[in-house]
């Protein structure tokens, strides 16, 4: 099939107008030796019905979370997303539009960005947000670019930052001439000394995750004070965004740049799905932000409206001197974040976070009743905690699937020596029954496996 | 009181907030609520809630429905935005991306439980490799510019692996997209800009003058940003390769060439394509996109991790983290998967025939429209056939004092999204028009007639054009005020 609304007769009329007799003539600028001969080796096209069947067949080879009780997080956090979100996202005036470069006919997208920027600033306690970057990992990388310059060209990152975020930052740093140093964890959190031990006059920023990759809540206030004493910036990467319903906003604890990923509020996790990089900062650093920013203004008749602004930072104007090369971002998921967080509102987010905290602690208590299961670190936590298991996490995972339970995340995939550590994520949508079932199943599996 | 929704200012969601209203219902708790002060240090507990709105479900639905009515999408009307390929976004793709077996997956699920997702990724990789004439593809980059950064880093890794550290320069033509030089800088290269001929071709002599043993590579769009096929591409490839550099293909304009010619055969070593342009996935108001990168075999060892592989003897798919000379990771997880599902759906539906026909009709539509618009405005390269897009300018009506911006704004009054304007930078007052293959002859004819009507207005009543648009919800907006007095977020009025 195809989506071409031109008939053979119409085609003939068009060719005639152009003054040629076949479409092929239009390609005469392409040297003959470069013309592709024959057919591309691709399966034959299908009808709409057949295509849908083929895709359903592929989808069926996956086990979807709806059939399971999910206890996996580690950067992809499954919280409640209201039904209305996907309905509103599906309004095609939103999703079939391009970047709002023509503001007169893009006020829907633009007003959404303005509201989104406000909501992100509220969550993080910051002055300015942009319209999004790709994901949480690239948001940390962009924050590094904001913080570093020729003189201050190194950053110190806590080992408690998500492994994949660290790897992404390293990729970005390599080539830009920035050095990435690491502050080691001590009992699951990053002591100020670990940063201080690495710091020099060239240190541009300290980076910490909040709560960190192991679920532990870091004292970002202390770290921020130490960073500022060194004339370095404090970059905070928020892990599970819903934590902003219960944890103090990083901006109120001394953060200069706050980043995160709006995935939990953008829709179903979709394997590697609706990531949306969040990045917010102080008024002082606003002009170093990457990507698009929306501002309020007025039209020629004095009516309120919105435009993309401060574009002198961006690649289409500054080219080689732009603050980033980013062009497309994750705009549709910014809309989803705005809708979800407007629906939850002030008290919904708080309730979500408090229920998550309650559930996660109940679950932890239940799991610790099992012989041989211990906390990896004994620190305050929010929605995630890492436990040491008497069996490999991978084995536990496999057997839990039989009880229709997904999780925990096998920490061995990040650090080989942690193959007996499982990272459990528990949110407000997990029922007491789910957690009791998990504890029961785990106990049985561990007892069976220990003797194998 | 009756209100005209389409001209009325939509209050901010924050102004609609009323204490006590709620739109959420969370699962009832059967566990006693934990006292947060018992488990979190008190100075890390939030003192004041984030000031999010308190609204009812119907308020949320109406608010965003009203906002959507103030937007123009491909489904609203013709969107001839050059370089952006605003083709129709098939509804089938929206449905397949939402199949529970694709949408309700966690990135760290055991690999046995996501074989269908991996198979889909693998099949899309193989399809894109075939379409572009490359050997191996990664789907990790989240957008075109992200693909560029991935590709340029691969070029850097290649030279570094050979101990060839003096290659510090990337050559970019002055007609290039802004992302090209910005990307080269972000990858740590110095950008050498070279002039193009008036028709957007690379000046071979100028190219020869700048290449040398410090050349890491050249970034090129073909068809060029003027919508013309770069006829000297073979010679260009020889010059760059001869100097030890590599060729990077910016795939923004791939919609002109599917099944007709392939970057891999032209001599390019690295390419990116935009799934949100060529492969029909929606632009989403600015994203998410997806910018897969394809490379020739000798560069495969530098691809970002993880790669998706097929294990023959097991008939299984897997992630491979063991890529010894990898450039590293470009983002968390594996790419914008919902976009990937849409693009695969599109390629599966169209097949080789459908893709080729799409490119043919994209080029047919562009040349037809060029002919019609050429009756009213100056067109660039009038004697050559364009590919999927062409450039026109108001040079022929210069004396009216009307500029490209004005004409673009006036098009809005006639129900059309304006073309890309003032790009490429090398053509003064450029209007870049890309109709795509998903438009019919009547739309093209009507659009050309509108251009004719606006040109007449420019001559008879220029003020009408210079102050356009007149029919929109807001008129021209004060961008200077927006930049000088930044108002980038709502703040609650302080009540004294």
Q: B317-370, pLDDT tens digit by residue?
A: 999 999 999 999 999 999 999 999 999 999 999 999 999 999 999 999 999 999
For range B203-211, the mean pLDDT: 95
Q: Any bridge partners for residue B190, and if so which?
A: B169
**Interface confidence: ipTM more than 0.95:** yes
Looking at residue B1, its pLDDT comes to 44
Q: Judged by CB atoms within 8 Å, which residues 167-196 of B form the interface with A?
A: 177-179, 181-189, 191
Q: What share of chain A is helix, strand, coil (3-state, %, to 5)?
A: 45, 15, 35
DSSP-assigned beta bridge partners for residue A35: B261
Q: Count the helices and strands in chain A (H runs, E runs).
A: 13, 15
Q: Which helix (H) or strand (E) holds A384?
A: strand A384-388
Q: What is the model's pLDDT at position B451?
A: 98
B150 token code pair: 């991935």
Contact state of A171 with B47 under an 8 Å Cβ cutoff: no
Could you please report the per-residue DSSP string of A129-174?
A: E-S-BS-HHHHHHHHHHHH--SSS-EEEEETTS-HHHHHHHHHHHH
Chain A residue with CA closest to B35: the answer is A358
pLDDT confidence bin for B200, thresholds 50/70/90 = confident
Residue in chain B lying closest to A74 (CA): B108
> Are B329 and A217 inside 8 Å of each other by CB?
no
Q: Domain B92-349 maps to which CATH number in 3.40.50.2300, 3.40.640.10, 3.20.20.80, 1.25.40.10?
A: 3.40.640.10
* Interchain contact, B349 vs A345, CB within 8 Å: no
**In which residue ranges of chain A is pLDDT below 70?**
452
B387, B394 contact by CB (below 8 A): no
Sequence ranges of the domains in chain B: 13-68, 92-349, 359-481
Q: Do A248 and B488 touch (CB under 8 A)?
A: no
| Model confidence at B496: pLDDT above 90 | no
B386, B368 in Cβ contact below 8 A? no
- CB of A140 within 8 A of CB of B330? no
- A271 near A65, Cβ under 8 Å? no
Domains of chain A, by residue range, sit at 8-60, 70-78+346-450, 83-340
Taking CB atoms and an 8 Å limit, are B116 and A33 in contact across chains? Answer: no
Contact at CB, A325 and B182, closer than 8 angstroms: yes
Closest CA to B373 of B360, B361, B386: B386
Q: Return d(Cα B388, Cα B255) in angstroms, integer.
A: 7
Task: Kindly provide the b/e burial profile for residues A226-242, where b requires at least 16 CB atoms within 10 angstroms of the residue's own CB.
Answer: bbeebebbbbbbbbbbb
Contacts of B136 (CB under 8 A, 6+ apart): B125, B129, B294, B295, B297, B300, B303, B307
| A23 with B363: Cβ contact below 8 A | yes
CA distance A21 to chain B (A): 12
For tokens 């075999």, the residue is: B297
- Of B98, B317, B91, B107, which is closest to residue A61 (Cα–Cα)? B317
**CATH architecture assigned to A83-340:** 3-Layer(aba) Sandwich (3.40)
Question: Do residue A275 and residue B100 have CB atoms under 8 angstroms apart?
Answer: no
pLDDT over threshold 90, residue B61: yes
Select the CATH number that applies to the domain covering B359-481 from these four: 3.40.50.1860, 3.40.47.10, 1.10.10.10, 3.90.1150.10.
Answer: 3.90.1150.10
Q: For position A315, what pLDDT does the model report?
A: 87
Instruction: Tell me if A118 and B489 make a contact (CB, 8 A cut-off).
Output: yes
Which residues, numbered 7 to 46 in chain B, qualify as contacts with chain A under a Cβ-Cβ cut-off of 8 Å?
9-10, 12-14, 17, 21-24, 26-27, 29-34, 36, 39-41, 43-46
Which residues, other chains included, contact B378 with Cβ-Cβ below 8 Å and sequence gap of 6+? B392, B393, B394, B395, B396
Share of chain B above pLDDT 90, in %: 96
The per-residue pLDDT for B495 is 74
User: Hey, what are B315's tokens?
Assistant: 């008939």
Subunit contact B70:A341, Cβ cutoff 8 A: no
Contact A27, B260 (CB under 8 A): yes
How many CA atoms within 13 Å lie on the side-chain side of A399?
Answer: 17
Whether B484 contacts chain A with CB within 8 A: no
The answer for residues whose C-beta is within 8 angstroms of residue B228's C-beta and 6 or more apart is A29, B199, B200, B201, B381, B384, B386, B387
Q: Mutate which of A1, A119, A270, A302 to disrupt the B interface (most B C-beta within 10 Å)?
A: A270
The pLDDT value given to residue B5: 60
Enter the tokens of residue A313. 């930072």
Residue A173 and residue A179: Cα distance in Å, rounded? 7
Give the integer Cα–Cα distance in Å for B266 and B254: 13
Q: Does B107 touch chain A (CB under 8 A)?
A: yes
In angstroms, the separation between the Cα of residue B309 and the nearest Cα of chain A is: 16
Helix (H, G, I), strand (E, B) or coil at B114: strand
Mean pLDDT score, B196-202 = 85
Contact call for A5 and B337, based on CB within 8 A: no
B4 pLDDT above the threshold of 70: no
Residue B142, CA atoms < 13 Å, CB-side half-sphere: 31
Rounded CA separation A349/B337 (Å): 27
Question: CA–CA distance from A427 to each of A272, A382, A417, B27 (Å)?
Answer: 19, 9, 27, 11
Using CB atoms, pick whichever of A84, A297, A315 lies closest to residue B60. Answer: A84
Interface residue B77 vs chain A (CB under 8 A): no
CB atoms B365 and A45 under 8 Å: no
Chains A and B: how many Cβ contacts under 8 Å? 702
Strand pairing report for A405-406 and A69-70: parallel
The whole-number average pLDDT for the span B409-428 is 96
Contact: A34, B265; criterion CB under 8 Å? yes
| Closest approach of B147 to chain A, Cα-based (Å) | 10
A311 CA to chain B: closest CA distance, Å? 8
Partners of residue B272 on adjacent β-strands: B250, B293
Which CATH code for domain A70-78+346-450?
3.90.1150.10
Largest interatomic CA distance in chain B = 78
**Nearest by Cα to A275 from B330, B424, B240:** B330
* pLDDT score recorded for residue A316: 87
CA B333 to chain centre: 21
* Helix, strand or coil, per DSSP, at residue B187: coil
B145-174 pLDDT, tens digit each: 999 999 999 999 999 999 999 999 999 999
CA B413 to chain A, closest CA, distance in angstroms equals: 10
């Amino acid at each position: 099939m195809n989506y071409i609304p031109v008939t053979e007769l119409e085609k003939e009329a068009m060719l005639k107008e152009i003054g040629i007799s076949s479409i092929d003539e239009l390609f005469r600028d392409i040297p003959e030796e470069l013309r592709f001969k024959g057919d591309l080796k691709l399966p034959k096209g299908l009808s709409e019905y057949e295509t849908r069947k083929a895709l359903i067949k592929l989808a069926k080879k996956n086990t979807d979370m709806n059939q399971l009780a999910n206890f996996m997080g580690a950067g992809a956090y499954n919280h409640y997303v209201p039904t209305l979100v996907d309905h509103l996202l599906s309004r095609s005036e939103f999703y079939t539009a391009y970047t709002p470069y023509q503001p007169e006919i893009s006020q829907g997208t633009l007003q959404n960005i303005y509201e989104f920027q406000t909501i992100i600033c509220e969550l993080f306690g910051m002055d300015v947000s942009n319209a999004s970057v790709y994901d949480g990992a690239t948001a940390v990388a962009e924050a590094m670019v904001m913080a570093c310059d020729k003189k201050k060209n190194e950053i110190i990152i806590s080992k408690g930052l998500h492994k994949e975020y660290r790897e992404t930052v390293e990729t970005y740093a390599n080539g830009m001439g920035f050095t990435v140093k690491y502050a080691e964890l001590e009992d699951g959190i990053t002591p100020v000394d670990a940063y201080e031990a690495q710091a020099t006059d060239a240190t541009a920023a300290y980076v910490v995750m909040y709560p960190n990759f192991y679920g532990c809540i870091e004292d970002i206030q202390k770290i921020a004070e130490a960073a500022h004493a060194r004339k370095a910036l404090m970059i905070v990467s928020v892990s599970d965004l819903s934590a902003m319903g219960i944890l103090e906003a990083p901006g109120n604890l001394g953060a200069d740049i706050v980043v995160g990923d709006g995935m939990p509020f953008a829709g179903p996790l979709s394997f590697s799905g609706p990531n949306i990089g969040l990045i917010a900062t102080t008024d002082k650093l606003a002009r170093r932000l990457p990507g698009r920013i929306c501002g309020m203004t007025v039209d020629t008749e004095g009516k309120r409206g919105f435009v993309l602004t401060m574009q002198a930072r961006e690649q289409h104007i500054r080219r080689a001197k732009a603050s980033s090369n980013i062009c497309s971002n994750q705009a549709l998921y910014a809309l989803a974040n705005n809708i979800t967080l407007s629906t939850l509102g002030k008290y919904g987010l708080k309730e979500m976070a408090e229920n998550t905290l309650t559930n996660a602690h109940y679950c932890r208590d239940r799991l610790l009743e099992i012989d041989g299961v211990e906390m990896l670190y004994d620190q305050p936590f929010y929605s995630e905690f890492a436990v040491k298991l008497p069996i490999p996490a991978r084995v536990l995972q496999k057997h839990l699937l039989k009880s229709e339970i997904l999780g925990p995340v096998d920490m061995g995939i990040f650090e080989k020596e942690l193959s007996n550590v499982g990272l459990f994520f528990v949110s407000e949508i997990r029922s007491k029954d789910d957690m009791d079932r998990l504890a029961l199943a785990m106990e049985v599996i561990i007892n069976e496996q220990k003797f194998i | 009181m009756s209100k005209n929704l389409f001209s009325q200012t939509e209050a901010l969601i924050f102004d609609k907030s009323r204490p006590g209203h709620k739109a959420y219902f969370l699962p009832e708790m059967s566990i006693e609520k934990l006292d947060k002060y018992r488990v979190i240090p008190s100075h890390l507990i939030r003192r004041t809630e984030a000031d999010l709105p308190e609204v009812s479900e119907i308020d949320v639905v109406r608010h965003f429905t009203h906002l959507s009515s103030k937007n123009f999408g491909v489904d609203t009307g013709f969107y001839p935005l050059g370089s952006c390929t605003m083709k129709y976004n098939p509804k089938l793709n929206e449905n397949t991306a939402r199949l529970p077996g694709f949408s309700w997956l966690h990135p760290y699920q055991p690999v046995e439980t996501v074989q269908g997702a991996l198979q889909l990724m693998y099949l899309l990789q193989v399809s894109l490799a075939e379409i572009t004439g490359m050997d191996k593809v990664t789907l990790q980059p989240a957008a075109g510019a992200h693909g560029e950064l991935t590709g340029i880093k691969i070029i850097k890794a290649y030279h570094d692996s050979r101990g060839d550290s003096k290659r510090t320069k990337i050559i970019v033509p002055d007609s290039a997209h802004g992302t090209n030089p910005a990307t080269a800088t972000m990858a740590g290269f110095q950008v050498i800009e070279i002039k193009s001929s008036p028709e957007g071709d690379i000046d071979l002599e100028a190219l020869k003058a700048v290449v040398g043993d410090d050349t890491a590579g050249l970034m090129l769009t073909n068809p060029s940003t003027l919508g013309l096929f770069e006829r000297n591409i073979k010679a260009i490839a020889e010059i760059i390769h001869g100097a030890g550099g590599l060729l990077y293909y910016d795939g923004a304009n791939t919609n002109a060439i599917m099944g007709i010619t392939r970057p891999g055969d032209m001599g390019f070593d690295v390419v990116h394509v935009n799934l949100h342009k060529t492969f029909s996935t929606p632009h989403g108001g600015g994203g998410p996109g997806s910018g897969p990168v394809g490379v020739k075999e000798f560069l495969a060892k530098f691809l970002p991790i993880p790669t998706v592989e097929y294990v023959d003897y097991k008939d299984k798919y897997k992630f491979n983290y063991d890529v010894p000379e990898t450039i590293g990771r470009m983002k968390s997880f594996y790419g914008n998967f919902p976009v990937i599902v849409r693009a695969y759906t599109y390629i599966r539906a169209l097949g080789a025939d459908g893709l080729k026909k799409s490119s043919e009709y994209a080029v047919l539509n562009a040349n037809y429209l060029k002919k019609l618009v050429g009756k009213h405005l100056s067109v660039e390269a009038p004697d050559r056939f364009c590919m999927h897009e062409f450039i026109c300018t108001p040079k022929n009506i210069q004396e009216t004092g009307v500029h490209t911006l004005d004409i673009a704004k006036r098009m809005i009054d006639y129900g059309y999204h304006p073309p890309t304007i003032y790009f490429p930078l090398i053509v003064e007052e450029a209007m870049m028009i890309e109709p795509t293959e998903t438009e019919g002859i009547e739309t093209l004819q009507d659009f050309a007639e509108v251009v004719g009507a606006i040109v007449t207005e420019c001559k008879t009543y220029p003020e009408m054009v210079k102050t356009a648009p007149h029919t929109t919800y807001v008129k021209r907006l004060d961008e200077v005020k927006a930049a000088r007095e930044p108002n980038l977020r709502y703040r609650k009025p302080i009540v004294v």
